[in-house]
Structure 1
Amino acid sequence: MSKYVNSNISERIMHIKLDRTHKKNALTEDMYFELKNLIDKASQNKKVRVILISGGDDFTAGNDLRDFIENPPEDKSSPVFKFMIALTECPLPVISAVNGFAVGIGTTMLLHCDLVYASKNSLFMMPFINLGLVPEFASSLLLQKRTGYLKAAEMLMLGEKFDAKTALEYRLINQICEESELTNVALNSAKKLSAKPRELLITTKALIRRESETIKGRIELEADYFIEQLGNPETIEILTKLNKK
């Protein structure tokens, strides 16, 4: 169990909150393990109808570099990939409330959420190429479907940050909120969903996301390239330099 991932169940909503504020909620192996377990528990709990994920001042700065270097994902049984599959295959609606930084997997995981709300001061970034890595979480497939090829190429090849207004334009989020209203807006939608029949929520989501097997296949393909790239000397040099900063 990770002390940096909190959860509670209220009004048929499981609220998962990342709580590693001193590191901008940078994700560790233990945190991925806990996130995966919580998603599985929510999916199996008949009293839960919706999952809400938030992160406080920052959603997540992505992978914790030190932990990532010390515990690199060696195969598809690694906690990070298990988390990806758990979120992708989660039958319940998943809502994310994004504030501050949403870097790397902090952005790509939003492609697997059903409703996404972001504050005006949110910043998004998928800097994989800058780290000597390849895209993950099926972003190479889903981004171009969501935004079109040119914008997907811009985000994944340049690896630059963009704001909430751009994220809305690129159809990565549903709505921009004031920071002070973000949690309430996301929670209000969660409550609306939680009032609906659980089985109908599950069936409706399954019908909308009929491409789940294709997505899982892309996650696994990207994982193969990602793991291979971790052994590349240039990637090792980039990550080592960043870790020393």
Structure 2
Amino acid sequence: MSNTLLTQDTGKVRTLTFNRPEKKNAFTHAMYEAATEALRQADADPAIHVVVLTGAGGVFTSGNDIGDFVEHPVTGEDSAVFRFLRTLVDLAKPLVAVVDGPAVGIGTTMLLHCDYVLASDRARFAMPFINLALCPEGASSVLLPRQAGMALASELLLFGEPFDAETALRARIINRVVPAAQLAEVTAERTQALAAKPLGALQVTKSLLRDSMRSEVNGTLRREGAEFVKRLHSDEAREALMAFMNRKK
């Protein structure tokens, strides 16, 4: 794998680590492609029972690298980011996320496709799509209201403001908040406990939990994707993205 995505096996657990700490693990086109391939490989490997997503350097991911995003614009369903999202939806094995520090944009919405999410007490979340004149992605417009309730989902998506781990817990985006100093220990205990279960039973149970909404999720991914591409070509989005890049400089 690319050095921006590290892979490590511990027993039956495969951990994929986003590894661009100097850029707060911001996703590039190449990282989406690497992560998609790594997820598919883990899903096909009979020795692996559980897949874990995490980030290096005390950051989960700051979302899209805006410079790279402008250079490799999303053009449709075959774009790297949408292939990554569909792979998350289709993954047969349990998917765990371990969040320390910021989880921005797709860093938050990808958690909605995970089966178990641990977060440190210093984790921070945001879905700032509206601040960039964009729209929700990752099927968050259907999954978040279902999990958080319409009132809280509307607040988080319409304001696009950062929120803490306790709010993420209340929104049911995450399962558990852990003191940062204990995150590695709890992660090891929980993932090994999950990996010790019979693989066939894990996969069937996940399928039964998620299959009833798979068609709705995939349909929402397509609708959000089409609107996202339209928004990217709007004057509002061009102005907002340029302003963001100028602030970064």
TM-score (norm 2): 0.96
Matched residue of 2:17: which SS? strand
| Aligned-pair CA distance for 1:237 | 1.1
| Aligned-pair CA distance for 1:240 | 1.2
After the TM superposition, which residues 1-245 of structure 1 pair with which residues of structure 2 at under 5 Å, given as runs? Answer: 1-56=1-56, 57-210=58-211, 211-245=213-247
Query: Aligned partners of 1:11 and 1:128: how far apart in 2?
Result: 38
Query: Aligned partners of 1:121 and 1:203: how far apart in 2?
Result: 34
Report the AA paired with residue 83 of structure 2: K
Query: Aligned partners of 1:36 and 1:184: how far apart in 2?
Result: 27
Matched residue of 2:15: which SS? strand
Query: Aligned partners of 1:43 and 1:190: how far apart in 2?
Result: 16
Report the AA paired with residue 34 of structure 1: A
Query: Aligned partners of 2:8 and 2:124: how far apart in 1?
Result: 27
Matched residue of 2:91: which SS? coil
Q: Extract unaligned runs of 5+ from structure 1.
A: none
Matched residue of 1:214: which SS? helix
Query: Aligned partners of 1:239 and 1:179: how far apart in 2?
Result: 33
Matched residue of 2:119: which SS? strand
| Aligned-pair CA distance for 1:241 | 1.6
User: Is the CA contact 1:95–1:186 (under 8 Å) kept in the aligned structure 2?
Assistant: no
Matched residue of 1:102: which SS? strand
| Aligned-pair CA distance for 1:9 | 1.8
TM-score (norm 1): 0.98
Report the AA paired with residue 214 of structure 1: E
Deviation above 4 Å: which 4+ runs of structure 1?
none
Report the AA paired with residue 4 of structure 1: T
Report the AA paired with residue 6 of structure 2: N
Matched residue of 2:155: which SS? helix
| Aligned-pair CA distance for 1:39 | 0.6
Q: Residue by residue, what CA displacement relative to the aligned partner does 1:171-228 show, whole Å, maximum 9, x if unpaired?
A: 1111111112112212211111111111110000000112112111111110000011
Query: Aligned partners of 1:118 and 1:21: how far apart in 2?
Result: 18
| Aligned-pair CA distance for 1:75 | 1.1
Query: Aligned partners of 1:21 and 1:165: how far apart in 2?
Result: 25
Q: Extract unaligned runs of 5+ from structure 2.
A: none
Q: Percent identity?
A: 38
Report the AA paired with residue 133 of structure 1: L
Matched residue of 1:209: which SS? helix
Query: Aligned partners of 1:165 and 1:192: how far apart in 2?
Result: 25
Report the AA paired with residue 231 of structure 1: H
Report the AA paired with residue 235 of structure 2: P
Matched residue of 2:220: which SS? helix
Query: Aligned partners of 1:145 and 1:133: how far apart in 2?
Result: 21
Query: Aligned partners of 1:193 and 1:181: how far apart in 2?
Result: 18
| Aligned-pair CA distance for 1:123 | 0.6
